[in-house]
Structure 1
């Protein structure tokens, strides 16, 4: 049997302290994804809805439901924070439109601030669904608004980017990204909306009227679409909450006007196609499921 020999001045191995292990504190910086999900699941149900309260995904084709299911679920589980974000966006949007509203006829103000109206529509849509009081025509308006303005605004920001150079970069980036987020938001609505033809017809009628008044049939004065920098306006005569109040009509040079109109027509047609295609896809999935159950 070997004999252990210890040298003087050295601590035996068995008596040596074990190495100290550092345990990271339970803070968001070190929180693992699983821990984050656990934390979110511990939130009140009104703030983070349980998964069992969500409508099941129907397996729609990707061209009408392009988002991954986990992202759809996240948006629906956080429905009330998302509603609040849209309400705040609506308030910001109305403030942003103050300069243009100051030179537009009061009777047409409801057709001028397109993006704030879109976020208001989707906030109402989500709130109605979360409250168990769905209104199909409101859901359709929310879908149209988010998709049309969520794509048209980034298009205009890119096409007229030189004219938007007066905006600070953070504001330009915020406008661009927040409107793209609206387009993403539109593709969550199919989880709880049916997109019935009559509801789509209501939304189409609203945005068709908006399109005609904005670009093609000015009822009072000049067309009323969202001002782009390529169009000249009157001089500033005052301010409201930091936004200038203007005097004089907005000019609509042909080139800029046609580019903005082309974007609006394209996005409106796209929203109409996708809304009706979603309805058809839902019916096909349900008919197929019924046939499978019968077999």
Structure 2
């Protein structure tokens, strides 16, 4: 008899569901880049690629889904998707909750951002069995992720939360360790998939 988890996995891995997930992530990516449009206007062009963090994370996942739909694994993209989706998904949840604590209200948009970004992190974890990245891909994704932190918190290109900017040093410290944790997740996913069982 098929277990509940087996039924859920059959749903998640079905091509029809993957097409739906592709549409949702592509729509969220477009919306996210539009969301950052005002910050890009006041940003030097050389930093543009580093500013819209969450939309770029969902773009990586969108590309990974396209790969799965055509029976291919874009391994570097998968590593980037896992690390950045979990990182920026959880980061945005924390930032909006801090805004709630700081101001007392975040409105329906803030709650929408919390829900959608938490879903970003969850989907990255749910699709762990699909990932085929190697250690080299994790290394490149880690360099991208940590370099992005440097651009955000040393060169001052972090996403602007007007009520939280006075805490930018603390946020930068938190973000660095969140990056390390997400890179570690990718590493353990790879290790679990590749480790050879010890024979007795």
Partner of residue 257, structure 1: 168
Q: Which of 127, 130, 148 is 2:66 aligned to? A: 127
Cα 1:74–1:164 shift into 2, 3 Å: farther
Please report the TM-score for the alignment, with normalisation by the length of structure 2: 0.88
Partner of residue 190, structure 1: 128
Q: Distance in 2 between matches of 1:210 and 1:203?
A: 11
- Structure 1 residue runs of 5 or longer lacking an equivalent are 1-67, 232-251
Q: Which of 204, 208, 212 is 2:150 aligned to? A: 212
2:147 paired with 1:268:
no
Cα 1:170–1:183 shift into 2, 3 Å: same
Tell me, yes or no, if the aligned pair for 2:86 and 2:124 is still in contact at 8 Å.
yes
Partner of residue 194, structure 2: 283
Offset at residue 132 of structure 1 (A): 1.4
Residue-by-residue CA offset, 1:166-219 (whole Å, 9 max, x unaligned): 75x221111000000011011133212123101101111111110110012x1x
Tell me, yes or no, if the aligned pair for 2:99 and 2:105 is still in contact at 8 Å.
no
- Structure 2 residue runs of 5 or longer lacking an equivalent are none
Partner of residue 163, structure 2: 230
Q: State the superposition RMSD in angstroms.
A: 2.1
Q: Distance in 1 between matches of 2:82 and 2:93?
A: 17
Partner of residue 174, structure 1: 112
Count of residues in correspondence between the two structures: 194
1:1-295 equivalence runs, <5 A: 68=5, 70-77=7-14, 78-162=17-101, 167=106, 169-216=107-154, 218=155, 223-230=156-163, 252-253=165-166, 256-284=167-195, 287-288=196-197, 291=199
Cα 1:69–1:146 shift into 2, 3 Å: farther
